[in-house]
Amino acid sequence: MRNFIYGISSVALLAASMNASAVADDDTKKKRFYGGVQVGLNQIRGGEFETTGARLWTNRNLAEGIKFGYKWGGLRTELEFNAFQADARLFQSTTLGFATAVGETNAETLMVNVLYDFDVSDKLTPYVGAGFGGRWMEMDGVGNTNGVFTDMKSRRKAYQLIAGLGYDINDNFRAGLDYRYIRSVDEGTQFTTVEGVDFAKLPQHAVFLGVNYFFGEKKTKPVEEVYQPPVREEPAPVVEAEPAPMPEPQPEPEPIVVAVPDDFIIYFDFDSAELDWKAQQVVLAVAEAFKAHGNVTLALMGHADRAGSDAYNEKLSEKRAWAVKMALVEAGVSEAAISASAHGEHDLAVATADGVSNQMNRRVEVMFSLAE
């Protein structure tokens, strides 16, 4: 059973790595697939046998597990498999009191968990949750000097309660330490040589230390920098001397003036290549200017601010230039007259530090020139 569950979980993790590019590209990158492994300790404390009233304690022994899930923001859902092993330590009964126990217990759980992450800081994330699924339990030679229980097995529905603390190592890796309370919830299917052994009354306590890997790039939206236009200083008045009489100007031939439209700038929202209503109005104005002047070409230069990686912003500026180009074509501008280029977070309109968002830098510049 354990090998079968590990096989299913491994396939699920492989599928997540192949579909990591499908993660939603919103402004915070909160929605992501993840997978993880964990190890820890588990113990049965005071588990009761229904027929005799005896109670069982085990030593603290190894537990291990694997998980695969999806983060929806603050909420997470995951499929988790855990395996537990514990040596019997003590029996307590009304006739024997406390007595040394022998044998071992083994358990495996497969549960669907729902957890909620509390956003309290950039690094630390407390979380709570609960899971529901199945628990397989087996006792091998568990007993004491007055009798041995053997071949005890049970398969039942079960639940677990979870509370823990996560630490973000970087954008993709998170370490976590959590506590689990696990217990069966129904009569289920039971196979045992002893009548009335109620495995539902054998609660488990477990502490896990694990690592989760979140697929995809996380991009946190920085605080928007408010653009402050520079204050124009009026120059001091200059006292000029009385000009000398100028000779009579000679008439000059009037130059041939070829009119070229002024340049335009189209701005974008944070981490977006979509044209809002205001940007669409600018696109229509560019199209009208093109049609009015005739023999001109358009150069589109896409830009991004410095929030995010250099490679990411290079791609984003390319998307912005392409979006403007397609909108101009729809407005009646010949595609052959348009060229588009991406400049990423270079050639900033307003100089900022790395990681700072600024609306003046999220733009596409439209430049006119005479066609050759």
The answer to whether residue 61 is domain-embedded is: yes
In the DSSP assignment, the letter for residue 334 is -
pLDDT interval class at 102 (50, 70, 90):
low
Is the pLDDT reported for residue 178 higher than 60? yes
How much of the chain is in helix, strand and coil states, percent to nearest 5? 20, 45, 35
Structure tokens at 304: 């991004």
Tens of pLDDT, residues 53-73: 556 667 778 899 999 999 998
Is the pLDDT reported for residue 97 higher than 80? no
The answer to whether residue 311 is domain-embedded is: yes
CATH number at residue 348: 3.30.1330.60
Statement to judge: residues 37 and 184 lie in one domain: yes
Strand partners, 339: 299
Distance, in Å, from the CA atom of 244 to the CA atom of 58, rounded to the nearest integer, reads 111
The answer to whether residue 270 is domain-embedded is: yes
Q: CA-CA distances (angstroms) from residue 67 to 22, 49, 80, 120?
A: 20, 32, 4, 24
| Domain end marker among 179, 199, 214 | 214
Tens of pLDDT, residues 181-237: 998 876 544 444 444 445 445 778 899 999 999 997 655 555 666 667 676 677 777
- Give the 3-state secondary structure of residue 319: helix
- Looking at every residue in the chain, the average pLDDT score rounds to 78
Statement to judge: residues 161 and 270 lie in one domain: no
Residue ranges making up the domain that contains 149:
2-18+28-214
Structure tokens at 267: 């701005």
Query: What's the residue count for the chain?
Result: 372
Strand partners, 73: none
Choose among 58, 63, 25: nearest CA to 43. 58
- Beta strand extents in 189-322 (DSSP E only): 189-191, 204-214, 224-225, 264-267, 296-302
Statement to judge: residues 200 and 263 lie in one domain: no
**Structurally, how many domains does the chain consist of?**
2
| Domain end marker among 179, 214, 249 | 214
The answer to whether residue 282 is domain-embedded is: yes
At residue 291, the pLDDT reads: 86
- Give the 3-state secondary structure of residue 5: helix
pLDDT interval class at 4 (50, 70, 90):
very low
Helix (H) / strand (E) containing 269 = none
Statement to judge: residues 182 and 280 lie in one domain: no
Greater confidence, 29 or 228?
A: 228
CATH number at residue 195: 2.40.160.20
Q: CA-CA distances (angstroms) from residue 24 to 76, 145, 174, 224, 269?
A: 15, 61, 20, 22, 17
Strand partners, 341: 301
Statement to judge: residues 153 and 51 lie in one domain: yes
| Domain end marker among 194, 214, 234 | 214
Statement to judge: residues 202 and 265 lie in one domain: no
Statement to judge: residues 149 and 9 lie in one domain: yes
The answer to whether residue 248 is domain-embedded is: no
Statement to judge: residues 51 and 172 lie in one domain: yes
Residue with tokens 């396939």: 11
Statement to judge: residues 263 and 204 lie in one domain: no
Greater confidence, 319 or 200?
A: 319
Is the pLDDT reported for residue 311 higher than 80? yes
At residue 77, the pLDDT reads: 96
The answer to whether residue 113 is domain-embedded is: yes
Residue with tokens 């729902």: 114
Q: Which residue type does 235 have?
A: P
The answer to whether residue 249 is domain-embedded is: no
Structure tokens at 230: 């520079």
Statement to judge: residues 295 and 196 lie in one domain: no
Distance, in Å, from the CA atom of 111 to the CA atom of 157, rounded to the nearest integer, reads 9
Distance, in Å, from the CA atom of 314 to the CA atom of 40, rounded to the nearest integer, reads 44
Statement to judge: residues 196 and 261 lie in one domain: no
Statement to judge: residues 169 and 292 lie in one domain: no
